[in-house]
């Protein structure tokens, strides 16, 4: 018997939900069944798969209220949950539209006139998706949808910290006969994730660097591909030529949306010293206008800290910064309200790279700001990190583009923040410890789920010049 896991409610702190992980033997059997079902899914063809995903979307829409309620209970926030569901639904349409062109096989002539080439791709039969708690729905489906369209079967293991959204999603899956045998959500924590890796043909992992390393090692032992999307410590650089109003609004949004619980949150801000004071006064004034979504879920922009472990990390980073001389201008404490953990948007100055808040992932609504005197210094500070997920630059476009080329990160927003969360066309890799594997965004994302096959056809009846002679 596996042990039930009690799940905490982020608004009340009460453990009001339970998940029961499958024993490893049953999970292995489930994987076998799902892999067998994949054959029919692939044979269904792309049109049939698109039709099945559209039916799934319809079933989700008809149960949308239940899904919203579950996601709100998982995360404690409402407006971001609504956006999360919208984004998930629109990603189904986006991929259904893109897939036909991406999955076309091609026939080509080769450099050898009597050899033709048919270039085809075949899906990995069974993909495992392991996801975190910060955007539970979006991050458990972001790889799932292109993988399904590519013809793979998928087993998803969402985070044990926010698993309530799975039940309404499963109801919608069971309404689509073609889909129900090839798309499964399993509940559980790390042990279930690690058992899943033992049974799949490819793993997509989103989560922390520490777990990502374990996933990569387990996948390497089995020689299966692992696509890792890990943590970040995104910098923003603001030059004198920036539009200050725009920069402070964009940075505030990029830092505190979803209470800063986003891999691509802006977690460090470097500002030209000539505009430093003006910048932080403006940022503080705007930060004060944001309210906690407390006592009711509709009441403000800032939801609770979802994972209790994260509340402890945020407190630790703030304490460490203050002990080393940082000054807090607003926010600055993790409060217990009604049993949940909350943190108001926090602006810090007098910070430096000896502080955890400037070097480790905080994952909270914290905006530490540091002045710089030259562009070289700004770039060097931005690159002084083990992470390389994304970044933002605020300046005249020409200056910003030049800086963007020098930043070691896969996605750079110019005169805006966290654009890769909104715009999915741009292909990008995670640099340094932020991840491994092909781009999750753009057309390349779908092709990651297929292996290429070259079919080489001899088209004449004569001996190839490189064969052994017939003794002639």
On the 0-12 / 13-18 / 19+ scale of CB atoms within 10 A, 144 is: buried
- Which of 24, 48, 63, 190 touches ligand NAD by CB under 6 A? 190
Which of 82, 189, 375, 444 contacts ligand NAD by CB under 6 A?
Answer: 189
* 290 contact partners, CB below 8 Å, separation of at least 6: 252, 256, 300, 301, 302, 344, 345
Residue 229 designated active-site: yes
The rounded distance, in Å, linking the Cα atoms of 382 and 353 is: 11
Least CB distance to ligand NAD at residue 327 (A): 27
Facing residues of 369 across strands?
A: 269
Task: Compute the distance between CA of residue 317 and CA of residue 356 in angstroms, rounded to an integer.
Answer: 6
Nearest to 259 by CA among 268, 271, 267: 267
Burial of 217 (0-12, 13-18, 19+ CB in 10 A): exposed
Q: Which stretch binds ligand NAD (CB under 6 A): 38-46, 203-211, 272-280, 294-302?
A: 203-211
Point out which span in 23-31, 179-187, 190-198, 289-297 binds ligand NAD (CB under 6 A): 190-198
Asked whether the bond before 262 is cis by omega within 30 degrees of 0, the reply is no
Is residue 419 a contact residue for ligand NAD (CB under 6 A)? no
Long-range contacts of 77-83 (CB under 8 A, 24+ apart): 77/258, 77/259, 77/293, 77/297, 77/303, 77/304, 78/293, 78/297, 78/298, 78/303, 79/301, 80/257, 80/258, 80/303
Residue 328 engages ligand NAD in binding (rule: CB under 6 A): no
Q: Does 139 bind ligand NAD (CB under 6 A)?
A: yes
Q: Does residue 273 carry a catalytic annotation?
A: no
Residue from the set 10, 21, 76, 132 that interacts with ligand NAD by CB under 6 A: 132
Total number of residues binding ligand NAD (CB under 6 A)?
27
Residue among 55, 91, 208, 396 that touches ligand NAD (CB under 6 A): 208
When the beta carbons of 123 and 231 are compared against ligand NAD, the nearer one is 231
Q: Which of residues 373-402 bind ligand NAD (CB under 6 A)?
A: 389
Q: How far is CA 389 from the centre of its chain?
A: 11
Q: Region of 280 please: left (phi>0), alpha (psi -120 to 50) or beta.
A: alpha
State the minimum distance, in angstroms, from the CB of residue 437 to ligand NAD: 11
* Minimum CB distance to ligand NAD smaller for 149 or for 305: 305
120 scored as a contact of ligand NAD (CB under 6 A)? no
Tokens of 197: 């890796």
345 near 255, Cβ under 8 Å? yes
Which residue(s) pair with 8 in the sheet? 15
Given 120, 121, 171, 194, the residue binding ligand NAD (CB under 6 A):
194
221-250 footprint of ligand NAD as x/- string (CB under 6 A): --------xxxx------------------
Closer to ligand NAD by Cβ: residue 125 or 435 = 435
What residue is closest to ligand NAD based on CB?
A: 193
8 A C-beta contact, residue 330 and residue 286: no
Interface map 259-298 toward ligand NAD (x if CB under 6 A): ----x-----------------------------------
Looking at 84, 178, 187, 229, which residue is catalytic?
A: 229
Given 34, 81, 87, 159, the residue binding ligand NAD (CB under 6 A): 159
Which residues sit at the interface with ligand NAD, rule CB under 6 A? 130-134, 139, 157, 159-160, 189-190, 193-194, 206-208, 211, 214-215, 229-232, 263, 361, 389, 435
Catalytic positions are 229, 263
């Amino acid at each position: 018997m596996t042990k039930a896991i009690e799940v905490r409610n982020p608004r009340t702190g009460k453990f009001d939900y339970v998940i029961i992980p499958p024993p490893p033997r049953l999970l292995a059997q489930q994987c076998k069944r799902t892999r067998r079902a994949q054959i029919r899914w692939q044979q269904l063809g792309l049109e049939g798969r698109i039709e099945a995903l559209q039916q799934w979307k319809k079933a989700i829409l008809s149960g949308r209220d239940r899904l919203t309620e579950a996601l709100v209970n998982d995360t404690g926030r409402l407006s971001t949950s609504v956006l999360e569901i919208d984004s998930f639904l629109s990603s189904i349409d986006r991929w259904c539209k893109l897939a036909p062109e991406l999955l076309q096989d091609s026939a080509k002539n080769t450099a050898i006139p009597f050899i033709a080439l048919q270039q085809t791709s075949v899906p990995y039969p069974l993909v495992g998706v392991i996801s975190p708690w910060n955007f539970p729905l979006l991050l458990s489906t972001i790889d799932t949808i292109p993988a399904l369209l590519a013809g793979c079967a998928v087993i998803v293991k969402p985070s044990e910290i926010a698993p309530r959204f799975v039940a309404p999603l499963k109801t919608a899956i069971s309404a689509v006969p073609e889909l129900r045998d090839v798309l499964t959500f399993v509940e559980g924590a790390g042990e279930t994730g690690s058992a899943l890796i033992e049974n799949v043909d490819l793993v997509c992992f989103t989560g922390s660097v520490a777990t990502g390393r374990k996933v990569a090692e387990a996948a390497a032992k089995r020689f299966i591909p692992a696509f890792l999307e890990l943590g970040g410590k995104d910098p923003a650089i603001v030059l004198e030529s920036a539009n200050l109003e725009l920069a402070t609004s964009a940075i505030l949004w990029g830092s505190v949306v979803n209470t800063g619980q986003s891999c691509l949150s802006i977690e460090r801000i470097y500002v030209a010293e000539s505009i430093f004071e003006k910048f932080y006064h403006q940022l503080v004034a705007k930060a004060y206008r944001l309210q906690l979504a407390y006592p009711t879920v509709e009441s403000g922009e800032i939801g609770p800290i979802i994972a209790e472990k994260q509340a402890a990390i945020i407190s630790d980073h703030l304490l460490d910064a203050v002990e080393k001389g940082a000054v807090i201008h607003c926010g600055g404490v993790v409060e217990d309200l009604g049993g949940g953990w909350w943190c108001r948007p926090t602006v810090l100055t007098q910070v430096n790279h000896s502080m955890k808040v400037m070097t480790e992932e905080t994952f909270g609504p914290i905006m530490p700001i540091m002045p710089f005197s030259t562009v070289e210094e700004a770039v060097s500070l931005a690159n002084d990190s083990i992470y390389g997920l994304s970044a933002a630059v605020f300046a005249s476009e020409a200056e910003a583009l030049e800086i963007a080329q020098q930043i070691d990160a896969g996605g750079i927003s110019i005169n805006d923040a966290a654009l890769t969360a909104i715009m999915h066309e741009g292909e990008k890799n995670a640099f340094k410890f932020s991840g491994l594997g092909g781009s999750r965004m753009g057309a390349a994302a779908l092709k990651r789920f297929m292996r290429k096959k070259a079919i080489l056809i001899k088209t004449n009846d004569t001996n190839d010049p490189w064969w052994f002679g017939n003794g002639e």
